[in-house]
Amino acid sequence: MAQQGYLLDTHCWLWWHIDPDKLGQQAFQLIEDGNNEIFFSVVSAWEITIKHALKRIKLPFPPDSYIPKRLEKSYMEVLPIHLEHALRVGQLPLFHNDPFDRLLIAQAYTEHLTVITKDALFKQYKIETAW
């Protein structure tokens, strides 16, 4: 069976580690399935770090230690931000105003990944989503 690639929206990565019961059943199963390739984007690390500094996200440890430790213990792959991802953002319609989500959408489009997200706005783009 070929691996399917999935990109986690930031809230899904956080919920997976902090409160997995918040994940939809399909989202949980997709992340758990060892046949799937799961990606954590550098975009999410950036978003978590900024929101933690603004006191909008609580973590058990500062992001600079929490994120690497969680990734070290997981089977998730880190997806870097490439120039083509950043350039794709400018080609996206303005359905979504969140710059972090727009960059995740651009990555999913460019890398042909399905985004695991609860955010209904992602469905307005020409990408696959799952929840």
Q: Where do the structural domains in the chain lie, given as residue ranges?
A: 4-130
Q: How high is the mean pLDDT in each 10-residue block of the chain (131 residues)?
A: 83 95 96 94 98 95 96 93 96 90 96 96 90 96
pTM of this prediction exceeds 0.85: yes
Supply the pLDDT for residue 3. 63
- Is domain 4-130 classified as CATH 3.40.50.1010? yes
Burial of 60 per CB tally in 10 Å (0-12, 13-18, 19+): exposed
Supply the pLDDT for residue 1. 43
Angstrom CA distances, 101 to 27, 69, 92, stand at: 18, 24, 11
3-class secondary-structure state, position 125: coil
